[in-house]
Amino acid sequence: MSVRKLKPVTPGQRFRVVNGFDAITTDKPEKSLLAPLKKSGGRNSQGKMTIRYRGGGHKRKYRVIDFKREKVGVEATVESIQYDPNRTAFIALLKYSDGEKRYVIAQNGLKVGQTVVSGPGSAPEIGNAMPLSDLPLGTVISCIELRPGQGAVMARSAGAFAQLMAREGKYATVKLPSGETRMILGACFATVGVVSNSDHQLIVSGKAGRSRWLGRRPRTRPVAMNPIDHPMGGGEGRASGGHPRSRNGIPAKGFKTRSRTKASNRYIVERRKK
């Protein structure tokens, strides 16, 4: 994993830091695993804008990712590590011993030609997926299910990882990337290793145009708006804006919005740090 700082040959390149793409082995995606991806531009089924500052961006094809790892006990060989425009992590193309090909989220250290397998009783090696009940305590994991058979929903972005802390009864205690410690059913699958592309946080886009390519439009600061448009708008001259809050008036920066009566609260051992 590495990043490259470009020479300032243009104003947009001056501060730009790009990914070295050392881990990428091919730029040709597997055609059978591509699907069309339609952009909404932040509009709902009625065509009304429900999310602001979205729209435009480069055309993409979706890569169908296997988050469930349900081919239990079937060995697969890593054919290539590829870039995915729809996520921050890199993806790995697996070819199973029965000939089927699938994409999975790639872990740091996953190499072409390596053999991976999923299911109970698998070895706790990088890229292997298994239930939390089978993993040794202290193992660094990613791509974690929240309900058995649901498919991975947590710790899927670049450089993300969680740690298996303890086991008691049918539950495993996992420390999540946010700092939250939570109980998860031991039957839920997780993949061993840290998600690839951990240098993603060091990337600097360098110019506003790159945000446009990603489908992000310019965001208007609430302080620059009128009082009718935002609670922080208005005022004489360059007023600072008062208490930080959202467009709906909900306080920001530290205000807890999680329901106190939420059913899953009882599974949280320790809340994330502020």
Tens-place pLDDT, residues 27-81: 999 999 999 999 999 999 999 999 999 999 999 999 999 999 999 999 999 999 9
In the chain, the domains with their CATH numbers are: 3-201 (2.40.50.140)
Res 241: pLDDT: 83
Residue range 88-113, pLDDT digits in tens: 999 999 999 999 999 999 999 999 99
- Using a 10 angstrom Cβ sphere, with 0-12 exposed, 13-18 middle and 19 or more buried, the burial of residue 155 is buried
Residue range 115-146, pLDDT digits in tens: 999 999 999 999 999 999 999 999 999 999 99
Q: What are phi and psi of 198, to 5 degrees?
A: -70, -15
Residue range 183-208, pLDDT digits in tens: 999 999 999 999 999 999 999 999 99
Res 1: pLDDT: 65
Closest among 104, 88, 103 to 1, alpha carbons compared: 88
